[in-house]
A and B are shown apart, each in its own frame.
Chain A
């Protein structure tokens, strides 16, 4: 990746506010914004002559690239197209004069048997050469996914990061007034399309989280006026109570291999963290201090768990081994810390920082260093990582109305981007990359 980027970027350095990984305890990267790269995404020709599909696919690629915050896409609107032959042999001068540094080209092939193939090419316009090409064959109904995969190819090649655009989001869809809000689990593609509800809304539901394969959810539901953790099969909607009986269970998350679920159980005024086989069985207790131990999240190697506890008198972050041993505090900044989530890359922990009457999303290293705050609003909470560990999704609640919406932010800075949801939303969980 690096040589390509170097070639693309063989231009004088300009000043840019970029967050540091180390340094003072609180480096605030809100407003640390980089100028995005101009990339042409013209409408793609289609071998069937169906112009609409080539344009729609280009629109999705363009939109996806824009959401990364790293690109200013040009097109497909307001920019010319090209011929089928030019997909693999572009006229660079055209795109240079359009102001593009890079070009996404390709073509769409819709054959028989309900399949669609998207040929995706990325060109360095400045250097006049191809950077990468790949074909994506999908069921014709899944044409949007082919576009997401092409956008992921482009993003990954130019940023050096792993792909994350061909993903889904599950969240709590919120409707109705603040004192009688209906909460349903909803699932959608990460660009907001293919939105559907997974629960009816008769029972309040909270904190849905994907399994590492993306085929199951674990969440809390108040059905039967008994708040407890359930596991749902996404494809069938089948639900199963995680821990038999009436114990109050909440704050669930899967282990990285999907075999375990870690969660909180409260009884007698005390909340502790437990882990149980994802298929059932007897929970094993991991914490035993008086106070609220909750919001556990596994490290990607499964060896450690970050969680929050008020055992010191205020909410702080702690890390322990997977078996509950070696519990130690890692947050030492001002204010309180809550709802930690371990990055899938392992290098950072995202959290909610409580202070000055506000909640903000931040990241720190697993040992507690290098804290950076990423957002600045009245109430931002509940971070969930993109599978590439470069973006964090969370929900932002508006003072007064209590209306909540989903946002995603690049951990390297920039403004949070609102996620498209048809109704209010909270507790997002970003899926792994679709397979």
Chain B
């Protein structure tokens, strides 16, 4: 009996084992499969390109002065769009190796960082218009100027495109879409100087813009908070200021006050003399005698007519006369705005005009894109662009 039992048990074990062998292959729940990241078409990083391209020798020098920057651009995992000045661009901006080596590290770092947009591979096809331009934050995190900056404010660059021509701010792109494993490079014609101050600093310090400063202060009596001055000081704002110079203000004020006086019965000659005297100083805006004429509301309307809600470099202006809205349109929605037009020469904008709705003629932008204090067009600030014009724009 005992043997029998063992035999049976053996048979059972055997059959269990046979069946077992057949089943040792159930598929358990498969693990979740990671999404394969797209392999870059090239292994050459931006850092490699900068290191190997002969035309980038000055850029290489500059980048090497900034600790860690080359490593950053060589990081295969990262993503950058770099607006790269080649040697010609450095020279065009008057910067040679000696200058680079002489600049403080912080300053060269700020300049370099301002040429780099992080996290996005912005190709030329992604920039489609000249107006408005696109605002892209760079690696440059501004040190707080006179007033605190919002956290994480990275000074943006403003690429734009017209046909086959591209710009970054008002600097032309000379070559685009140079692919790298970790991003894309566009060559620029000159160094893109990072702005350091806010518009208000220029307006309040430029001796040619005293009337504008006074007008803004007068306007802010209408709506003290948030006033225009505050806006022009706000580093997070992005504006365009068509800044009439003092002569322009004097001219228009004299004319307007003369008309006003004549309307009150003052003879023409006397009226003109009086008006000239009144308009001879920026205090005209706070002159009690004119308080009823140059009311804060009237001045506010006049000032905001000179402001655009977005940064417009001269290269962003259309080539045919085009009406664009100003900040006045925030209050008067169907106002025609100002009419702008630019003329392009072989090296960029040679002439630009802006015309108010009630002006007889167009104001001329004083083309001179050199840096402040001498420059009068494409003056780039943390919170906007300023162009000096020779007339006050009249909304009505």
Partners in one complex: no
